[in-house]
């Protein structure tokens, strides 16, 4: 087994061995079948398999699929840990590299296609000729089956596994990947990119702050850079919903959600110049929408909600606070995405029987808050009832500070290992000085990470550059979109292509055309499939200027 010193030296050696090229990519140097770590000159990488993949259903381009393991060690909990990864190396390589940052608790090697969203219908980076790396971020999410639903986050009981999940896996894999590419093709990548959404978006922020010189471009969706703080929201949501009628799953019906969405539309849809089921001017909406107007009045029993449900929603969207009124995480925007199925899946009810139909935050989210994001960790039961109980008993005065706590065993706090290094006063100094670029996108109806938090981060970054952060980072709000995709939204757009053009040709992205995702079940049936809209860089808003109301060309970013 490799210890901390050994794999630290490997990472340093990899860094020194990478020589980036500035010209055309080289021809393949090594054969795919029979590939070994020794052949690559990387002795501490164990190749588990290497197979040539012809063009097919799961292979948009002929490539070499390599599966391997590295950074093997024994944790403080006595359990084995390592980074499992897969590399997809195109036969017709374009000389570029994509590090695919995955979401959730990681713990599984998602196929290395190079998309920020797994279900996306966009053309993948692999299909465009990029070499793509994916990993499990240093732990196996299925290693503790006896722990039930708490098993996927039990790695949080090991201090170093926490750190690998937070940032070390990206720090370790970045130089390794470039050395791997150089050995396989005979030259390193001309350009290096990182893409991801949710926790993958957070990985992107971490890469930009810790490895600013190593990534030419980063595409980060719904970035959970404040993930431990956002996990506090899980406790708030469950406590508020449970208080309505004692059953989180029945606290808000699907019809209730639709009432909220329709009331928001009634107040705000026209603010962008066209009533089309999309609220583009979210900032203006927050000023005119009055949640109290949704409360049923005497004699009214339709298109309204009981006072206790409205109060719960108001408290949830105000964000968690302690007894002194101090804000512990961000507030949220009122957006029609609240009516979406993805919003419900995360916060209210899931269709998953082993979860007892509890929402994701009450199952996986509860285990993460207990075992990863607080110090010392709390080992929780793996059944839905135990996990819900943990959230219901969570104390925002006594327990919330644990996301900043350390002790003799856990020497880095959750915010220390999860957040970018400069999250409160962002500068991304190395990233900016190197001339590198980042595009961030975030759904305004996201139920997991608040767009307001991302907006506030961007405004802090911009303030540090005299209002000029847009010269290297652009933020795209997506009206109606929930977590990474879904919601009543035009949630299909190719920001990766825009990023590559910005990095390699200096073509700064402006408005971006978004269309309907045929897989999105939250799209109203009244919307024609031909609908397109403009996504505008913050703080601009897409406003209707006349013409075909279903065509993005009829809108302008203002």
Active-site residue set: 198, 446, 483
Q: How far apart (Å, rounded) are the C-alpha atoms in residues 228 and 374?
A: 8
- What are the two backbone dihedrals, phi and then psi, of residue 419, each rounded to the nearest 5 degrees? -85, 155
Cα torsion 285, 274, 441, 118: sign: positive
Q: How far is CA 539 from CA 36, 268, 316, 476, 487, in A?
A: 50, 17, 25, 9, 21
Instruction: Please name the helix (run of DSSP H) or strand (run of DSSP E) that holds residue 443, with its range, or none.
Output: strand 437-443
Q: Residue with structure tokens 């639709």? A: 258
d(C-alpha 94, C-alpha 191), whole Å? 10
For residue 80, how many other CB atoms are within 10 A of its CB?
12
- Which residues touch 352 (CB under 8 Å, ≥6 apart)? none
Please name every residue paired with 543 in a beta bridge, in sequence order, or none if there are none: 556
Of 308, 115, 86, the residue nearest 197 (C-alpha): 115
Q: Is 237 helix (H, G, I), strand (E, B) or coil?
A: helix
Count CB neighbours of 553 within 10 A.
Answer: 11
Find where tokens 């469950």 sit.
238
Among the listed residues 291, 286, 294, the one whose alpha carbon sits nearest the alpha carbon of residue 268: 286
Residue 91 CB coordination number (10 Å):
16
Convert 235-258 to b/e letters by CB count within 10 Å (16 or more is b).
Answer: bbbbbbbbebeeebbebbeeebbe
Query: Where in 136-241 does DSSP place strands (E)?
Result: 191-197, 217-221
The DSSP annotation for 240-299 comes to HHHHHHS-HHHHS-HHHHHHHHHHHHHHHGGGGT--SS----HHHHHHH--GGGGBPPTT
């Amino acid at each position: 087994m490799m210890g901390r010193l050994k794999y630290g030296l490997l990472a340093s050696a990899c860094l020194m061995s990478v020589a980036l090229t500035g010209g055309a990519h080289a021809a393949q140097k090594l054969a795919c079948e029979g590939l070994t770590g020794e052949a690559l000159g990387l002795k501490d990488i164990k190749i588990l398999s290497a197979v040539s993949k012809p063009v097919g259903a799961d292979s948009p381009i002929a490539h070499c699929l390599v599966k391997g393991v590295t950074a093997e060690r024994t944790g403080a909990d006595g359990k084995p840990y390592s980074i499992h990864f897969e590399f997809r190396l195109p036969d017709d390589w374009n000389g570029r590299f994509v590090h695919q940052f995955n979401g959730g608790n990681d713990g599984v090697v998602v196929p290395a296609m190079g998309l920020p969203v797994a279900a996306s219908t966009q053309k993948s980076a692999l299909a465009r000729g990029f070499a793509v790396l994916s990993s499990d971020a240093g732990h196996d999410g299925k290693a503790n089956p006896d722990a039930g639903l708490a098993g996927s986050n039990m790695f949080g009981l090991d201090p170093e596994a926490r750190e690998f999940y937070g940032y070390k896996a990206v720090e370790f894999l970045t130089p390794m990947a470039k050395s791997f590419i150089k050995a396989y093709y005979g030259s390193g990548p001309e350009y290096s990119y990182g893409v991801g959404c949710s926790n993958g978006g957070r990985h992107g922020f971490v890469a930009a702050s810790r490895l600013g010189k190593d990534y030419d471009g980063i595409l980060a969706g719904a970035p959970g850079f404040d993930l431990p703080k956002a996990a506090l929201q899980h406790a708030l949501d469950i406590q508020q919903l449970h208080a309505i009628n004692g059953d989180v799953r029945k606290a808000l019906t699907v019809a209730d959600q639709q009432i909220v969405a329709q009331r928001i539309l009634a107040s705000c849809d026209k603010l962008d110049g066209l009533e089309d089921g999309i609220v583009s001017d979210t900032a203006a909406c927050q000023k005119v929408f009055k949640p109290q107007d949704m409360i049923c009045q005497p004699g009214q029993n339709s298109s309204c909600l009981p006072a206790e449900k409205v109060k719960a929603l108001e408290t949830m969207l105000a964000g968690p606070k302690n007894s002194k009124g101090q804000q512990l995480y961000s507030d949220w925007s009122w957006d029609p995405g609240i009516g979406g199925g993805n919003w419900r899946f995360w916060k209210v009810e899931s269709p998953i029987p082993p979860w007892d139909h509890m929402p994701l935050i009450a199952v996986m989210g509860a285990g993460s808050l207990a075992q990863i994001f607080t110090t010392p960790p709390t080992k929780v039961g793996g059944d839905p009832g135990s996990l819900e109980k943990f959230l219901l008993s969570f104390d925002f005065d006594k327990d919330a500070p644990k996301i900043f706590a350390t002790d003799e065993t856990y020497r880095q706090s959750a915010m220390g290992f999860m957040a970018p290094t400069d999250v409160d006063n962002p500068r991304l100094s190395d990233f900016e000085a190197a001339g590198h670029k980042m595009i961030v996108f975030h759904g305004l109806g996201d139920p997991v990470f608040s767009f307001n938090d991302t907006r506030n981060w961007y405004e802090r970054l911009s303030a540090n550059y005299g209002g000029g952060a847009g010269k290297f980072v652009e933020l795209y709000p997506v009206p109606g979109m929930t977590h990474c995709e879904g919601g009543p939204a035009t949630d299909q757009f190719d920001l990766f292509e825009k990023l590559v053009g910005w990095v390699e040709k200096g073509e700064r992205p402006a408005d971006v055309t978004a269309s309907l995702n045929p897989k999105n079940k939250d799209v109203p049936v009244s919307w024609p499939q031909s609908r397109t809209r403009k996504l505008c860089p913050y703080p601009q808003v897409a406003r209707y200027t006349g013409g075909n109301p279903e065509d993005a060309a009829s809108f302008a970013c203002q």
